[in-house]
Amino acid sequence: MVTFRCLLCAFALLPVLACADAGATFEREVIADFDEPWALAFLPDGRMLVTEKKGSLFVVSRDGARAGPVTGLPDVAYGGQGGLGDIALHPDFAENGLVYLSYVESGTGDTRGAAVVRGVLATEGRRPALRDVEVVWRQYPKVFGYGHYGHRLLFDDEGYLWISSGDRQKFTPAQDMQANLGKMLRLHDDGSVPADNPFVDYRSEEPLVDDVAVYGEIWSLGHRNPLGVALDAEGRLWEIEMGPAGGDELNLVKRGANYGYPVVSNGDHYDGRPMPDHDTRPGFEAPKAWWTPVISPGDLMIYRGDLFPGWRGDALAAGLSSQAIVRIRLGEDSAEEVARYPMGARIRSVVEGPEGELWVLEDERGSSQGRLLRLTPAER
């Protein structure tokens, strides 16, 4: 397990960093440049859908040619960490053309919250469009501020829609069952609540709570800012989230589990106040791996391809402040960082392509240029 707790422990990473030079590991091809790209998804024909945080969606070919921006998208409240976010294709996209987008919408009195829409994507012609758009989910409640939306999307093998919902930098909503902030959520593809979710009967079990709330959506709670979700080969769900000052976490998501934030964390408050570590409260679910110093995870995938055969079954985390791709070996009930590949830029997203290659979106901040990169194994 990765249990870095002090700066001194960072020296243990030096051999990994020295031998895992990205230039020696990858052939790196720059495909295109974007304006604050956030997410990428592959269409069945091999083209990509790429979102930009300011509110644009493009259809992109593998050589970087783009069509769009796609019309018909909802109004996006851009600012801070908010804007247009993740994108996912319905499992039956080839038949129904449905695409799901997460984004930030404005509320009353300068409040904001994440939402998810779905619509039918029409890609013919020069101006692709999203049609029959409907909202299938909203963060509740909308709050002040510009951070910790989470809003990563994933369909599992049974067709359920998973949504990661951040705590919006408000701390306590992550433990509040009358809010869906700081939670992992499981829904049907139309946004309705599955009857076998763990808290559908919460009101009957807790008679003092309101009967108009979001209990049924919740699968797990006590999360901070979950920015990556992925399924392993056994169908288990993993999520990676930013900790506070230290304590980034990789969690194996379990039905009804409470991951402890903000009661416990392996990091501390930004103002220096300590937070109790996970090992002080064994009643909460502990992370399978954690990082101090942080890696600032922006996305997560689990590799299943053939181009990097030694990586099959490993998780890859996109590192923002760490400016790296972090490879993590997943065990039955454990996880451990095994390599770190410096990229020289903040990495927002990493996605496996149809042929097992890696497609990477850089963040656009500081020296990071918002490029789309294609990574293949370096010849040796």
Among this protein's residues, is 269 annotated catalytic? no
Can you say whether the dihedral through the CA atoms of 158, 159, 160, 165 is positive or negative?
positive
Spatial separation of the C-alpha atoms in residues 239 and 299, rounded to whole Å = 9
Instruction: Find the catalytic residue in 90, 148, 151, 278.
Output: 148
With helix as H, strand as E and coil as C, how does the chain read?
CCECCCHHHHHHHHHHHHHCCHHHHEEEEEEEECCCEEEEEECCCCCEEEEECCCEEEEECCCCCEECCCECCCCCCCECCECEEEEEECCCHHHHCEEEEEEEEECHHHCEEEEEEEEEEECCCCCCEEEEEEEEEECCCCECCCCCCEEEEEECCCCCEEEEECCCCCCHHHHCCCCCCCEEEEECCCCCCCCCCCCCCHHHHCCCCCCCCCHHHEEEECCCEEEEEEECCCCCEEEEEECCECCEEEEECCCCCECCCCCCCCCECCCCCCCCCHHHCCCCCCCCEEECCCCCEEEEEECCCCCCHHHCCCEEEEECCCCEEEEEEECCCCEEEEEEEECCCCEEEEEECCCCCEEEEECCCCCCCCEEEEEEECCC
Sheet strands side by side (includes 183-187): 150-155, 161-165, 183-187, 218-221
Which tokens go with 166? 């951040």
Whether 202 and 196 have beta carbons less than 8 Å apart is answered as: no
Buried b (16+ CB within 10 A) or exposed e, 92-127: ebeeebbbbbbbbbeeeeeebbbbbbbbbbebeeee
Name the residues annotated as catalytic.
Answer: 148
